[in-house]
Chain A
Amino acid sequence: MIELDRVSKRYRGSNDALTNVTLKIERGEMAFITGHSGAGKSTLLRLIPLLERPSGGIISVSGVDLARIPRRRVPLLRRGIGMIFQDHRLLHDRTVFDNVALPLVIAGVPHRELGRRVRAALDKVGLLHKERSEPITLSGGEQQRVGIARAVVTRPPVLLADEPTGNLDPALSEEIMRLFAQFNAVGTTTLVASHDIELINRLGHRRVVLDRGQVVSDGAGGAGGRA
């Protein structure tokens, strides 16, 4: 589903953020990208929806070489990728409902279908009763769940999460991670960047460890992981 072939990314005037990263995430797979701060986790995730272009190597999503996607087709690529951020990135002047509805509006889903699909997404993250609230009145965990609802409302084939539990306590973090596992269980290819190694080990799933822009280990996580 997502393939990186000898991908590198160099920022002007600094060391390589990624060096020769080769990685293949199968359709329907769930994987964690982990490593210390500055190891290149975020950079790797940002290359997939073309928030940045790689300096070298080939990235393809669903068999499409991203280098062949012109600027004006980038929005279409992003519509197929649900993205979740550490700082949620919600619109604070709109209700929870409007935030979650935004991807549907952008994709041109007819007005009469919005309500049903937004409520289905909010229901999955357990926030159906908060639909009229302003995001600012919600707790950090709730805001992150709104962010997740927004990412999955269009049922994208790929879900990317960059440090989704960075600001949450362990119990909430686990709850959020289990939510990702649920979406993965219905076939969404899920890639989560996190430095919470303990939690990742507990959840199992594939674990890709980055160090200074290079893949140093790739395999099943701790207890409960695949062989």
Chain B
Amino acid sequence: MAGRRRRSLRRRLGAWGEHHLRALVGALGRFRASLAPSIMTAAVIGIALALPAGFLVVLDNVQTVTHGWAGSPRASLFLSMDTNAQQQRDLAGEIRSRPDVASVEVVTRAEALKEFRRYSGFDKALDMLDDNPLPPVLVVEPAEGLRPGAIDQLVAALGARPTVERVRLDRGWVRRLHAIMQLAERGIWVITGLLGITVVLVVGNTIRLDIENRRDEIVITKLIGATDAFVRRPFLYSGLWYGLAGGLLSVVLVELGLILLDGPAGRLAALYNSSFALAGVGLSGALTLLGCGAFLGLLGSWLAVARHLTAIEPR
């Protein structure tokens, strides 16, 4: 009895597996049979996925580049022109002794000029000037782990010194950059959501046409005892294949785009003396894209099937 039950269970499981395999392979066969329209559907999905994926990859790269800058904000104290070397050293020593300061570096006017010449490229223009226009600078690095409020207090205290003409906290623009990137990321997610809906609608519509084209077949299979699940399965697998093909295409598109950007990005990085290289989607990114494609394809076909398949009954 138990043995027979087990055999019957195994037989049913086998039949279930065979149904799925048949639907899977059958759907792939239909994809191949109407290759051009199938590829067009897949291309729509591919492009819709590649756009946000490409943006996210670029954003990711920008974040990698700016990561080092965000870590420790530094304040540049521009001193008045007439501060002499002794005064600069004294002031540096005094500031260094504060508990909320990690280090102070003195950049004399000559050093500042040298640095400026090296990085700015205004070599010739500087030669035309009679004297050095650059003020002496103290670069102050606040102690690690200081709260933004404490940093502001420190900056205010340093700025109040009589010999200090101006304080610039170079964290400001990093903050702004991060805010911009956050905004960009939010924007990308909105676009991603809209494109995701597009993919679902495109797949849903393709499957709906597919259902219309195979109406006779659906009626006949229902006539001879096919369950709804049996009728539904090939269409769901069609959606899955569209989604997977679209996902694959999006990976290729993003990688192609990055190859196109790689040369200019490398040259830009070289100008900044950086060895930065663009990172691609990577394995996990590629798998995510494939997964998203498969999920959206399946969702689209599911919606189409739920709406249109039950309406087709043999008459």
Task: Using CB atoms and an 8 Å cutoff, list the residues of chain A in contact with chain B.
Answer: 49, 51, 72, 75-79, 83, 89-91, 93, 102-103, 105-111, 150
Contacts and interface: CB of A to CB of B under 8 A. Distances in A.
A75 B15 contact: no
Contact of A76 (B14, B16, B225): B225
A150 B219 CA distance: 15
Interface string B202-228: 000000000000001101111111111
A108 B12 contact: yes
A79 B18 contact: no
Contact of A150 (B19, B222, B224, B227): B224
18 contacts: A49-B223, A51-B315, A75-B226, A75-B227, A78-B223, A78-B224, A79-B224, A89-B220, A90-B220, A91-B216, A91-B217, A103-B225, A105-B22, A106-B225, A106-B226, A107-B225, A108-B18, A150-B224
B263 interface: no
Given A75-B226, A150-B224, A108 B15 contact: yes
A100 B87 CA distance: 101
B11 to A, nearest CB: 8
B224 A103 contact: yes
Interface in B1-52: 11-12, 14-16, 18-19, 22
Contacts of A79: 224-225
Interface of B: 11-12, 14-16, 18-19, 22, 216-217, 219-228, 230, 314-315
Contacts of A106: 221, 224-227, 230
**From DSSP, what is the main secondary structure of chain A's interface residues?**
helix
Given A89-B223, A105-B22, 18 more contacts: A51-B314, A72-B227, A75-B222, A75-B228, A76-B225, A77-B225, A78-B222, A78-B225, A79-B225, A83-B224, A89-B216, A91-B216, A93-B217, A103-B224, A103-B225, A106-B224, A107-B225, A108-B18
Which 8 pairs show the lowest CB-CB distances between chains A and B? A108-B15, A79-B225, A78-B225, A75-B227, A75-B225, A106-B226, A103-B224, A89-B220
A111 B11 CA distance: 12
A91 B220 contact: yes
A97 B160 CA distance: 94
Nearest to B220: A89
B256 to A, nearest CB: 37
A72 B18 contact: no
Contacts of B220: 89-91, 102
Contacts of A77: 225
B167 to A, nearest CB: 76
Contacts of A78: 222-225
A156 to B, nearest CB: 9
A154 to B, nearest CB: 8
B85 to A, nearest CB: 92
A102 B221 contact: yes
A91 B219 CA distance: 10
A77 B222 CA distance: 11
B13 to A, nearest CB: 10
A170 B166 CA distance: 110
Contacts of A111: 18
A83 B11 CA distance: 26
Contacts of A51: 223, 314-315
A105 B217 CA distance: 14
A101 to B, nearest CB: 11
A168 B217 CA distance: 24
A118 B265 CA distance: 64
A188 B14 CA distance: 29
A110 B15 contact: yes
B225 A110 contact: no
Contacts of A91: 216-217, 220
Contacts of A109: 15
A105 B225 CA distance: 10
Contacts of A83: 223-224
Contacts of B230: 75, 106
B228 to A, nearest CB: 7
A182 B243 CA distance: 51
Contacts of B19: 105, 108
B144 to A, nearest CB: 67
B131 to A, nearest CB: 89
